[in-house]
Amino acid sequence: MTGKIEMLTGRCECGGVAFEVKHVRETVTVCHCSQCRRTSGHLWASTHAAFDDLTFTQDSGLRWYASSETAKRGFCAKCGSSLFYRMNGERGIGIAAGCLDVTNGLRIGKHIYVASKGNYYPVPADAGSFEVG
């Protein structure tokens, strides 16, 4: 059973986007698809929360990019940090694990789109891997 971690904070590199989130999933999903690799510079690792549990304490840098017809990505326009992924119409939001101030209790739960991974690294063996999400 996947649990929840209570009250975390996070931010981008420059502080133009900062937030608190009441409950996040304890597992991190690592996506190896080409789109995530391009927007993050390597791969995308995120936990998940209900959007209503997310409160922005600073959003002057927050911008949203429609990365496909079905989803958008949140980033800081000031420093370029890639922070969020949200499917259109979804009640939840993916939050980059790397932007959280404290990551105690988080663990990798699965790897997705491993068929699209970069050729410069092996298929990770620390959790289940799937060709598609």
Task: Tell me the pLDDT tens digit for each residue of 74-99.
Answer: 999 999 999 999 999 999 999 999 99
Name the CATH architecture for the domain at 4-121: Beta Complex (2.170)
Checking if the pLDDT of 111 tops 90, the result is yes
Rounded distance between C-alpha atoms, residue 46 and residue 133, angstroms? 13
Query: What is the rounded average pLDDT for all residues in the chain?
Result: 92
Q: What does 8-46 look like in DSSP terms, one character per residue?
A: EEEE-SSSSSEEEEEEEESEEEEE--HHHHHHHSS-EEE
Tokens 């996947």 correspond to what residue? 2
Per-residue pLDDT tens over the stretch 28-79:
999 999 999 999 999 999 999 999 999 999 999 999 999 999 999 999 999 9
- This prediction's pTM: 0.90
Q: What is the residue extent of each domain of the chain?
A: 4-121
* Joined tokens for residue 111: 């790897």
